[in-house]
Every structure is written in C-alpha cells, then in structure tokens.
Amino acid sequence: MRILVLIPGDISNQILCFPTLDDLKQVYPQAQVDVLVEPRAKAAYRVCRSVHEALPFDYQDRSSPADLVNLLGIMRDREFDAVISLASGWVTGFLLWLTGIPVRVGYADQPGSVFLTNPVPLKPEQYVAHTYHDLLQGLGIATPCPAIAINVPRKDIDWAEAEQARLGVKDTGYVLIYDEPDAATITTYPPSAWQAVIQGIQSRQPAQPVVILQTPENQPVVAEILKLCPTVKATAPAAIGQQAAMVAAANLVICPDSPPLQLAVAVQSYTIALLTRTALPILPKGDKAIGVQSATTRLADIKPETVLAQIFGPS
C-alpha cells in the first residue's frame, strides 16, 4: 500500500502533522508513506520516523501548467492507493482527481472538496495537531491523536553534547531562547524586550546560563541581542536534529511560534511560547508548554514582566 500526504507550510506545520503520520504507519505498518512538502520544510523529515520519502513542491509559488503536469506525472507513476491532503483549493482538488488515486481524503466544505472521495469535517478551533489527525477518519482510523514525537539521529545528539561542553553549560543546564525575523517588524519580539527578559532571569538565577539559538535566517536578530546582552552564549546547529538535541537539553525554552517551539513540544522541554492574539491553537494541553499571548496582533505588546511572571511567578 502506498499513501501520499500533502502538507503545505513550514517545518512547524510538518511537525504538527507527525502524530498523523505516525498513526498512519501504526495502523498500516507495511505501507509506504510519502509526503509532498515545500522545499523549505523538507528538512523536518530528518527527525520523522514514519515517512519513506519527502517530495518537494512549492505550494506558495504560482506553479505553471508544466509544473502541475510534471507533478501529476510523479503522482501517477508512483501508483498511490490513497492520498490525504491538508491543502485545499480547486486546483489541488482537480489535480488529485486527475491522478486517479482511488481514495482521496481532505476537508469537507472547502474549495475543491467536490473532488474528494472521503471528505472529513474541518474543526479549526481545536489543537492544530488534532485537526490534522482528524483526516485519518477518512481512512476509517478513529484512534486518539498521540503526542508529537521525533526521532533524533545519534550523531546529532553527540554534536549537541559536544556543543554544550564548548559553551560550558553541560553541567549547569541553560535557558534557550529563539527569535526570528518578521517581514513587518524585523523581529517578532523587540531586542530591548529580550534584554529585559534575559536580565530578569539572570538577576533571579545568576548561575543559569542563557543560550540563543542562531539560524541562517535570524543572524541579524541574534547579533542585536548579543550586543545588548554580552553574557548570552550563541549556538548555531546546522541540522534540525542538532536543534532538537539542544532544545531537549535546555531547562527552559522561550520562543515565538516557530520550528524550535514544536521541537520543544516534541521533546517535552518546559517552554514559554510567545503568541499573538490571532495565533492558532498550536500548543497541546498540559503544563510543559505555556502560551503567553499578546492582547494584540503584535508580539511586541507582550511585556517582559509578563514573561518573567510566567517563569518565576508574580513578584
């Protein structure tokens, strides 16, 4: 049996779909499960245990007819028995119909859902991972949604242990922070606000190191925070497995909606998530990952005192 799952979005979105993929493989252990994902998200499958192959497709791009014909050929050649689509739209639905895949699962009452054989009600108000997992009902699978789990390669764990030794935090543990650029505001949380949070942590726990996670995308943000907080240490994992191992070793993770946030959920690190008022429900219920939500659509409106109160309790 061959199953294709269409998952648009970034690495965070892929990780939120891992429980769906894991349950699919659990129910059909002999099945080959492939995913169709954006090139920027393909790296997520380094830490996924249930996917055979991640096929690249740019959902955001205005694909030419030639691109769509090529994709159609790929899906037909692989002779999938079933397809599950998190993507909706008339073009997507029509394309899936043209593939001839006999079982086509997606959300009901969405553009293009007329081309589905097994539509499933969309419940966007629930935890996103549960919304994705609901699609398995289209294959007759009614199991509860499991927690997010990842499989970190041993060599990535070894790298992280060596990195913690280099930073001098292997025996002390550390608070890991992360931020990334935003097209509208340069950074999702102002460097001055990060400075106040970091200084608040250091004043209460002087022996607790603070480490900032650096990626190719957030180097200007990291440079600005390091300028304001020279005692902060920086780490730059080259692979998602290395990121996950650094997140897993942290005593606390503080970050906005991002891949490191979903990695923290997966490895069950204590996490403070900085969220906007319009954020989807991207955190599971429980006391390991706590959301601090802005009263507006801007993360900058979260006061550092609010973040510190969530960590240490009211002063």
Q: Tell me the per-residue pLDDT of 125-136, one tens digit each, with 9 for 90 and over.
A: 999 999 999 999
pLDDT band, residue 297 (cuts 50/70/90): confident
pLDDT digits (tens, 9 = 90+) for 270-279: 999 999 887 7
Rounded to whole angstroms, the Cα distance separating 135 from 130 reads: 9
Which one has a higher pLDDT value, 250 or 187?
Answer: 250
The whole-number pLDDT of residue 184 equals 54
Nearest alpha-carbon partner for 152 in 247, 261, 33: 247
**Least confidently predicted of 182-191, 245-254, 294-303:** 182-191
User: In the numeric block, which tokens belong to residue 84?
Assistant: 């599950």
pLDDT for residue 248 is more than 90: yes
Q: Band of the pLDDT at 185, cuts 50, 70, 90?
A: low
pLDDT recorded at residue 75:
87
Q: What is the dihedral of CA 309, 312, 314, 315, to 10 degrees?
A: -110
In angstroms and rounded to an integer, the radius of gyration of the C-alpha atoms of the chain is: 21
CB 284 within 8 A of CB 129: yes
What is residue 235's three-state secondary structure?
strand
Which residue type does 138 have?
G
Q: 131-170 pLDDT, tens per residue?
A: 999 999 999 999 999 999 999 999 999 999 999 999 999 9
pLDDT (average), residues 77-86: 94
Mean pLDDT of the chain: 93
Mean pLDDT, range 288-304, rounded to an integer: 93
For position 166, what pLDDT does the model report? 97
For the whole model, what pTM was predicted? 0.93
Share of the chain above pLDDT 70, in %: 97
User: What does the buried/exposed string (b/e) look like for 121-140 if buried means 16 or more CB atoms within 10 Å of the residue's CB?
Assistant: ebeeeebbbbbbbbbbebbe
The torsion angle over the Cα atoms of residues 109, 111, 115 and 119, rounded to 10 degrees, is -30
Bridge partners of 291? 273
Helix (H) or strand (E) holding 242: helix 240-249
Mean pLDDT of 8-22: 96
The pLDDT value recorded for residue 278 is: 76
Read off the pLDDT band of 59 (50, 70, 90). Answer: confident
Q: In angstroms, rounded to a whole number, what is the distance separating the alpha carbons of residues 167 and 87?
A: 42
pLDDT for the residue 61: 61
Contact partners, residue 201, CB within 8 Å, separation at least 6: 175, 208, 210, 308, 311
Query: Would the pLDDT of 117 be above 70?
Result: yes
Half-sphere exposure of 185 toward its Cβ, with a 13 Å CA cutoff?
12
At residue 145, the pLDDT reads 96
Mean of the pLDDT values across residues 74-102? 92
- 2-139 sits in which CATH class? alpha beta
Dihedral angle of Cα 215, 189, 263, 228, to the nearest 10 degrees: 50
Give the homologous superfamily in CATH for domain 154-312.
Glycogen Phosphorylase B; (3.40.50.2000)
What is the reported pLDDT for 66? 75
Q: Which residues of 259-283 are buried (b: 16+ CB within 10 A; e: fewer)?
A: bbbbbbbbbebbbbbbbbeebebbb
pLDDT confidence bin for 74, thresholds 50/70/90: confident
Domains of the chain, residue spans: 2-139, 154-312
Given a cut of 70, whether residue 173 has pLDDT beyond it is yes
Distance in angstroms (rounded) separating the CA atoms of residues 293 and 306: 10
| Section 224-238 average pLDDT | 96
Lowest mean pLDDT among 59-63, 78-82, 207-211: 59-63
Give the per-residue pLDDT at 314.
Answer: 80
Segment 95-113 mean pLDDT: 94
CA separation for the pair 52, 253 (Å, rounded): 31
Which pLDDT score is estimated for 187? Answer: 57
